[in-house]
């Protein structure tokens, strides 16, 4: 599943206002976790609203390989018959996680404390990404890993036959690392503790509790101290996956940029560990109304009414980085059309995503005529104001869905169209992106 086939060149160009309802698909982070926790539970978990993007489909296939029965019963409707904590079978095949850092790192976590081994691989993007950040803490449980230089995939992980519980302070703000440790802790006796200096998305903690595990979170001077009591019996659940705020970011930013636009984006998570972009956009002058605030699938959600707005560059608070980590590419594209400068600091984690997102955005924006500055931890975009971005370039996306979608959004307002060399990775997280954007009135074509 890691082959992307032939590249799909796509182009976006200026057109009329965007209007209508942008019902974006299910949350990717929660979809992975629903399948994984379903596989680790006793009984049949029923999931609705599952994101049917390639990243999540790869996790579904992996759960089958470890012994769970995963069945699609309708659009976004899936069941998982779990094998219980500690019940994973040794897979007979290589686990190919495609483009998904979340998939591979969480799955490594949940097999690391079982007496089985598995070999993991992924596409050319995932094979470049660092896995030491999960295999280091997993080694403390007793797991061993054999990968390529620099802790790269392909990699074989040998699970601990007699795991011990672990107390681990995450060295970087990463929900994937936190989650890998907590999932490994499920099959270790006693209490596994993760301390994180900066809070990151908390779906694993919320969902583990929902599946019946004992998880406590305590605020300490060192940061959040998350304690999991090992070897629980997880019980199958009904999971209604809320819509993905990281996907919502694309139609939201497009509507803010295209003159005359007025759209509604229903059911967007307002989980404080995920809503950083919306706070940032409001500080830039965005007209976003949060309507009908409620709870869905255990997450606070709201319907967003978004209207075209005059935007001003700001310094994004670095402490907000984790809560909008996947939204920096589209924020950088939007910042190019703001008046003034947008400063994004504390963003070094962007360098180890599907691509080096600081470099990919900087090179792409420069090709479109925008002045940027970067250092290891910073991206600064000098906005050209509405109508100021020349465009007229073909941007390299480096097998990165968010780079592709960000430049397709920018092309809706640049003076000349913008093309991306390969839009096929969009299917990893937002398979209906083109249709949804076209229905709103955007001009996005395949060349």
Ligand X SMILES: C=C(OP(=O)(O)O)C(=O)O
Q: Which residues are identified as catalytic?
A: 326
Tokens representing residue 249 in the block: 């970011």
Is 96 a known ligand-binding residue? no
**Nearest one of 397, 394, 413 to 405, comparing CA atoms:** 397
- Tokens at 86, concatenated: 């500690």
Encoded tokens for 156 = 């074989």
Q: Please report, as residue ranges, which positions from 105 to 124 form the binding site for ligand X (by CB under 6 A).
A: none
Site for ligand S3P in 148-187 (CB under 6 A): 174-176, 179
Joined together, the tokens standing for residue 185 give: 């802790």
Q: Which is nearer to ligand S3P, 326 or 422 (CB)?
A: 326
The answer to whether the beta carbons of residues 153 and 120 sit under 8 Å apart is yes
389 — phi, psi (to 5°)? -85, 120
Question: Contact with ligand X (CB under 6 A): which of 82, 91, 101, 383?
Answer: 101
CB 200 within 8 A of CB 178: yes
Nearer to ligand X, 165 or 205 (CB): 205
Tell me: does residue 354 bind ligand X (CB under 6 A).
yes
Name which position in 12, 102, 192, 273 contacts ligand S3P (CB under 6 A): 102
Chain-centroid distance, C-alpha 8: 22
Q: Is 400 left (phi over 0), alpha (psi -120 to 50) or beta?
A: beta
Among 12, 31, 45, 100, indicate the residue that binds ligand X (CB under 6 A).
100
Residue 406 known to bind ligand: no
Q: Given candidates 61, 206, 274, 402, which one binds ligand X under the rule CB under 6 A?
A: 402
- The listed partner (ligand X, ligand S3P, none) that binds 357, CB under 5 to 8 Å by sort, is none
Which residue number has the CB closest to ligand X?
A: 101
Q: Which alpha helices (H) appear in 131-215, and where do they start and end?
A: 132-141, 175-185, 203-210
Q: Where are the alpha helices (DSSP H) in 40-159?
A: 54-65, 101-111, 132-141
DSSP 320: G
CA distances from 196 to 124, 179, 203, 343, 348 (A): 30, 11, 14, 25, 17
29 is in an annotated binding site: yes
- Contact partners, residue 375, CB within 8 Å, separation at least 6: none
Q: How many residues bind ligand X (CB under 6 A)?
A: 9
Q: Quick one: what does residue 402 bind among ligand S3P, ligand X, none, with the CB cut-off 5 to 8 Å set by partner type?
A: ligand X
Q: Which of 4, 41, 65, 201 binds ligand S3P (CB under 6 A)?
A: 201
Structural contact between residues 189 and 228, judged by C-beta atoms closer than 8 angstroms: no
Nearer to ligand S3P, 110 or 418 (CB): 110
Which of 349, 374, 400, 422: binder of ligand S3P (CB under 6 A)? 349
**Distance of closest approach, residue 91 Cβ to ligand S3P, in angstroms:** 22
- If one asks whether residue 133 binds ligand X (CB under 6 A), the answer comes out as no
Question: Which residues partner with 80 through β-bridges?
Answer: 45, 70
- Binding site residues for phosphoenolpyruvate, as ranges? 28, 101, 129, 176, 357, 402
Annotated binding site for 3-phosphoshikimate: 28-29, 33, 174, 176, 326, 353
Please report, as ranges, the residues that interact with ligand S3P according to CB under 6 A.
29, 101-102, 174-176, 179, 201, 325-326, 349
Q: Which residues make up the interface to ligand X (CB under 6 A)? A: 99-102, 326, 353-354, 402, 429
């Amino acid at each position: 599943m890691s082959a992307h086939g032939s590249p799909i060149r796509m182009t976006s160009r200026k057109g009329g206002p965007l209007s209508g309802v942008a019902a974006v698909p299910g949350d990717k982070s929660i979809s992975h976790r629903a399948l994984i926790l379903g596989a680790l539970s006793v009984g049949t978990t029923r999931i609705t609203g599952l994101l049917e993007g390639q990243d999540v489909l790869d996790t579904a296939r992996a759960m089958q390989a470890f012994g769970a029965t995963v069945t699609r019963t309708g659009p976004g409707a899936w069941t998982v018959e779990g094998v219980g904590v500690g019940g994973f079978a040794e897979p007979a095949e290589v686990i190919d996680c495609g483009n998904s850092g979340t998939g591979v790192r969480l799955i490594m976590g949940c097999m690391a404390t079982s007496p089985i081994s598995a070999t993991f691989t992924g596409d050319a993007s995932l094979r470049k990404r660092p896995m030491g950040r999960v295999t280091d803490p997993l080694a403390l449980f007793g797991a061993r890993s054999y990968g390529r230089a620099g802790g790269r995939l392909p990699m074989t992980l040998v699970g601990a036959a007699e795991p011990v519980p672990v107390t681990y302070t995450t060295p970087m703000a990463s929900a994937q690392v936190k989650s890998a440790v907590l999932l490994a802790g499920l099959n270790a006796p006693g209490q596994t503790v993760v301390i994180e200096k900066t809070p990151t998305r908390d779906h694993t903690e919320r969902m583990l509790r929902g599946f019946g595990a004992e998880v406590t979170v305590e605020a300490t001077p060192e940061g959040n101290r998350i304690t999991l009591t090992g070897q629980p019996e997880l019980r199958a659940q009904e999971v209604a996956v809320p819509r993905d705020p990281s996907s919502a970011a694309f139609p939201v930013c497009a509507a803010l940029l295209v003159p005359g636009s007025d759209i509604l984006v229903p059911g967007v998570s307002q989980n404080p560990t995920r809503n950083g972009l919306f706070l940032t956009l409001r500080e830039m002058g965005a007209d976003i109304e949060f309507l009908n605030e409620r709870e869905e699938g255990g997450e606070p959600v709201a319907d967003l009414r978004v209207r075209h707005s005059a935007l001003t560059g700001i310094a994004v608070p670095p402490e907000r980085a984790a809560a909008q980590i996947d939204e920096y590419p589209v924020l950088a594209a939007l910042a190019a059309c703001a008046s003034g400068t947008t400063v994004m600091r504390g963003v070094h984690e962007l360098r180890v995503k599907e691509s080096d997102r600081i470099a990919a955005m900087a090179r792409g924006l420069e090709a479109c005529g925008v002045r940027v500055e970067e250092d290891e931890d910073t991206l600064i975009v000098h906005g050209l104001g509405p109508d100021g971005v020349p465009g007229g370039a073909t941007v390299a996306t480096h097998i990165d869905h968010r780079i592709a979608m960000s430049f397709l959004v920018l092309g809706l307002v640049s003076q000349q169209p913008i093309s991306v060399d390969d839009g096929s990775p969009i299917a990893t997280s937002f398979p209906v992106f083109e249709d949804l954007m076209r229905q709103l009135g955007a001009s996005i074509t395949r060349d």
